[in-house]
Structure 1
Amino acid sequence: MDKRHTKISKFLSYVLRHRPDEIGINLDSAGWVAIDWLRAASAAHGTEFTRTELDYVVEHNDKQRFAISDDGLRIRASQGHSIDVALGYESRMPPELLYHGTAERHLPGIRLHGLVKGERHHVHLSDDRGTARSVGQRHGKVIVLEVRAGEMVRAGFSFYISANGVWLTEAVPYEYLLEPDPGTHGQPN
């Protein structure tokens, strides 16, 4: 995406995941808002974009962060909310292993508390190491942790998959994580 589309994408992430009140919109309980309302409120607060630009951002966002309703009238963020929404995802059986990319500096906290959702609704996991590495690189020197998701399910944990393929769970206790060996450059054995 070019600079203009990236700016729109970042704006949409902010208002649809964290602060719809900044532009005076309300999301429904599942996180949806009418596209016409979103565009009008955005323009009134200094961020104007066309429906064509919006459609382009939704379609070409590298992480597929947004979804448009089947009738084409509403939009929502696929996951990552810090506000109260019920996305309606059903519990699914994940692969035996999932991955979480993070900055190496977070390891002491992870060793104490496991992976926690923080201000978000869920911990975000990937089904491939490359995506996890890409996500973790945003935060510093990256490490990729393996999550023994199959064992977690057998122990009673639930997993969900978002519309854009991100695996979600409430928390990952440390005992279900595999850390990389120091000599493997962030790759678990």
Structure 2
Amino acid sequence: GHSVEVDLGLPPATPPEYLYHGTVARNLDAIRAEGLRPMNRHDVHLSPDRETATRVGARRGRPVVLGVDAAAMHRDGHVFRVSANGVWLTEAVPPKYLRFPGPH
């Protein structure tokens, strides 16, 4: 459900064309099927650049950086907010907006 304190009073913002999400390879099958979900947080956290996303993913193993077509999500009505430390927040990212890296 939606509760008022979740968004910390952050106003909706227009995201850059692409945002990035750092994860690890073992999560990819679930992400391909379900997209990015907030899990135990209120929002999915997205980074404005690949370097930050890589650092986030590296906390949990060998990082994999996913691209998010934030401009298309925004056009389709998804709401984005940006926190004071530059992290972008959105409720969820459906699989169709995700760009997976090619095979390594």
Identify if the C-alpha distance between structure 1 residues 93 and 86 changes in structure 2 by more than 3 Å, giving closer, same or farther. closer
Q: CA deviation at 1:163?
A: 1.1
Structure 1 partner of 2:38: 117
- CA root-mean-square deviation: 1.2
In structure 2, C-alpha distance between the alignment counterparts of 1:121 and 1:160, rounded to whole Å: 12
TM-score using structure 2 length? 0.93
More strand by share: 2
Q: Over alpha carbons, which structure has the higher Rg?
A: 1
Structure 2 partner of 1:140: 61
More helix by share: 1
In structure 1, C-alpha distance between the alignment counterparts of 2:40 and 2:50, rounded to whole Å: 24
Structure 1 partner of 2:83: 162
Indicate whether 1:179 and 2:100 are aligned: yes
Partner-residue secondary structure (3-state), 2:59: helix
Matched residues, number: 101
Tell me the percent identity. 54
Q: CA deviation at 1:86?
A: 4.3
In structure 2, C-alpha distance between the alignment counterparts of 1:121 and 1:147, rounded to whole Å: 18
Q: CA deviation at 1:137?
A: 0.4
Where in structure 2 are there 5+ consecutive unaligned residues?
Answer: none
TM-score using structure 1 length? 0.52
In structure 2, C-alpha distance between the alignment counterparts of 1:149 and 1:108, rounded to whole Å: 21
Cα deviation 1:19-78 (Å, max 9, x = unaligned) = xxxxxxxxxx85xxxxxxxxxxxxxxxxxxxxxxxxxxxxxxxxxxxxxxxxxxxxxxxx
Indicate whether 1:98 and 2:15 are aligned: no
In structure 1, C-alpha distance between the alignment counterparts of 2:50 and 2:7, rounded to whole Å: 28
Using CA pairs under 8 Å that are at least 6 residues apart, name the structure with larger relative contact order, 1 or 2: 2
Where in structure 1 are there 5+ consecutive unaligned residues?
Answer: 1-28, 31-84, 184-189
